[in-house]
Structure 1
Amino acid sequence: MTLARTPTGVNAWLPPGPALLFCPADRPERYAKALERADAVILDLEDAVAPENRQAAREALVANPLDPDRVIVRVNPPSTGDHRRDLAAIAETAYRVIMVAKAESADAVLATGLQSIALIETPRGAVHANEIAEAANCIGLMWGAEDLVAGLGGKSSRYGDGEERPGTYRDVPRHVRSTVRLAAAAFGRFAVDAVHLEIGDIDGLAAEVRDAVALGYTATACIHPSQVATIRAGYRPDDAEIAWAREILAAAVENPGVFSLNGQMVDGPVLRQAESVLSRVP
């Protein structure tokens, strides 16, 4: 298969908000509740479902429809038979946005024929992130730390107690997080930050969300409804940020080119930062 090098169309799906909540696809009684709590739900046919329950999960996916504009379906890795069966089930639904688990090549993403968020969570996927992002039907990238570290033969993605910077990512996961963000930006795709597995660590989640926002991530995935409020709050600009952005953009109308405002030099990059702030206003 030849790698398509044209950008994703202007009508490509975008997350309707910053909080994307995973929900096991074999728990249809949770579907609607998950969607009520989050901006979009990721119905998971992969890691959240035991292999022996995946056929039941696919049947539940077909039998319990949700608003397709707010649903992503995570499918199993392209190298598996489950992947093909997942795509066959999705063809019976109105869902057209998928998350490709353990994406490792552009061809595998192209072969789905659907708008795809490529989940970069293996060493091979990490080194091919740019190629994957360039696939014509790749609309976004997400990264995952735990499968990545397992693929490295490691044992933890974060520093532990007694180590430097406890609770934060080790250097290789941080590198892949940066790689994914750069690849997404280079090819005009949105980027989704990884889940924070410590559900009770609100401060740690809030810190990661602040950093994700500063780096231009579009959304953060989560595994529990209690994390949604923290994610939304982190992506929402405060009143001072909004006022700054509006003042900058209003002044730019009267001052073409580079100008100074309140002691700050304003040029093209600053204008784009102001536009980014306002894009996150609910």
Structure 2
Amino acid sequence: MTPAPFEAGPALLFCPADRPDRYAKAAARADVVVIDLEDGVGADDKDTARRSLRANPLDPRRTVVRVNAPGTPHHGADLDALADTAYTTLVLPKADGRFVGPLLRHDGVPYAVVALCETAAGVLAASALAARPDVVALAWGAEDLVASLGGTSSRHPDGTYRDVARHARTAVLLAARAAGKAAIDAVHLDLHDDAGLRAEATDAAASGFAATLCVHPDQVPVVRAAYAPSRTEVDRARALLAAASGAGAVRHGGRMVDAPLLAHARTVLARADRCGEDPT
């Protein structure tokens, strides 16, 4: 059985699994909650986190669970806990060519997997991961990537990504979209840098990412606003499609318009609809 495509977003919010008091709050703010059993939970709190996951259900249509990576002591216990819930999608950290899966529920149905390419090996395996039928999306992470390279910082002092991080971001996006899968952009860790987050999320939406990961509830509205086309963009897209209706290449607004630009316009309207804006 092949999982359904990943269509949720645009703002995915991490919530530590050992903080069940935050589950409902996160669900009320975000498009999707990522209940985190991995980095957001200390080693001594993993059992508590798994108990909380079982005992505090959220809407499985708007919830995914990040388990610990394969090969770690907690991976199997995480899958056991996840199988006791109604959740069907998991985020697999440190995904690379060693991920042989599929990861199955107790009833034999495979989980839908968001493969997190956050190591050098994971970025190089992005195309192979995206080709897997159980993988519904690719995400990437800059900090673990740089750590896997032996580096110390993913960003320049001005807050922009270093070239290696930009390369990884592009490689994951290309691999995901070439396979017809969703691509999810990395977190922005500077909680006081709304301008930087807005710029990255705006670029992500324009480049083809489906969603952006958030680490704080205050980041959610910034990401949503960045992904939502403006009324001007929606009106321009509608006018362009109307002008080109039934024609090939046409001149519109001082530009020659052909199939790629029409595809851009359709994407704007689809994104407006997905973000809750009325494109009609």
TM-score (norm 2): 0.92
Distance 1:30 1:98 in 2: 19
Q: Match for residue 249 of structure 2?
A: 258
Q: Match for residue 231 of structure 1?
A: 223
Give the superposition deviation at 1:106.
Answer: 6.8
Q: Match for residue 57 of structure 2?
A: 65
Q: Match for residue 273 of structure 1?
A: 264
Give the superposition deviation at 1:56.
Answer: 1.2
Q: Match for residue 6 of structure 2?
A: 13
Q: How many residues align?
A: 268
Identity in percent: 50
Q: Match for residue 83 of structure 1?
A: 75
Query: What's the secondary structure of 1:12's corresponding residue?
Result: coil
Q: Match for residue 163 of structure 1?
A: none
Q: Match for residue 107 of structure 2?
A: none
Report if the CA contact (8 A) 2:16-2:37 is conserved.
Answer: yes
Q: Match for residue 37 of structure 1?
A: 29
Give the superposition deviation at 1:229.
Answer: 1.0
Query: What's the secondary structure of 1:237's corresponding residue?
Result: coil
Give the superposition deviation at 1:51.
Answer: 1.3
For residues 113-132 of structure 1, the C-alpha deviation after alignment (integer angstroms, 9 at most, x for no partner) is: 21000000011111111101
Report if the CA contact (8 A) 1:102-1:121 is conserved.
Answer: yes
Distance 1:158 1:183 in 2: 23
Distance 1:94 1:14 in 2: 18
For residues 161-199 of structure 1, the C-alpha deviation after alignment (integer angstroms, 9 at most, x for no partner) is: xxxxx1100011110000000001110110110000000
Q: Match for residue 189 of structure 2?
A: 197
- Which consecutive residues of structure 2, in runs of 5 or more, have no partner in the other structure? 105-109
Structure 2 CA distance for partners of 1:107 and 1:154, relative to 1, 3 Å: closer
Report if the CA contact (8 A) 1:109-1:118 is conserved.
Answer: no
Runs of 4+ in 1 over 4 A off after TM superposition: none
Report if the CA contact (8 A) 2:155-2:162 is conserved.
Answer: yes
Matched ranges for 1:163-242 at <5 A: 166-242=158-234
For residues 134-159 of structure 1, the C-alpha deviation after alignment (integer angstroms, 9 at most, x for no partner) is: 11110001100011111111110000
Give the superposition deviation at 1:213.
Answer: 1.1
Distance 1:102 1:85 in 2: 17
Q: Match for residue 149 of structure 1?
A: 146
For residues 55-76 of structure 1, the C-alpha deviation after alignment (integer angstroms, 9 at most, x for no partner) is: 1111110100000000010011
What code does the residue aligned with 1:99 have? V
Report if the CA contact (8 A) 1:45-1:58 is conserved.
Answer: yes
RMSD of equivalent CA atoms = 1.4
Q: Match for residue 89 of structure 2?
A: 97
Give the superposition deviation at 1:111.
Answer: 3.4
Distance 2:98 2:129 in 1: 4
TM-score (norm 1): 0.92
**What is the aligned counterpart of 1:51 among 43, 47, 50?**
43
Report if the CA contact (8 A) 1:109-1:135 is conserved.
Answer: no
Structure 2 CA distance for partners of 1:34 and 1:280, relative to 1, 3 Å: same
Distance 2:235 2:41 in 1: 46
24-33 or 260-269, which deviates more: 260-269
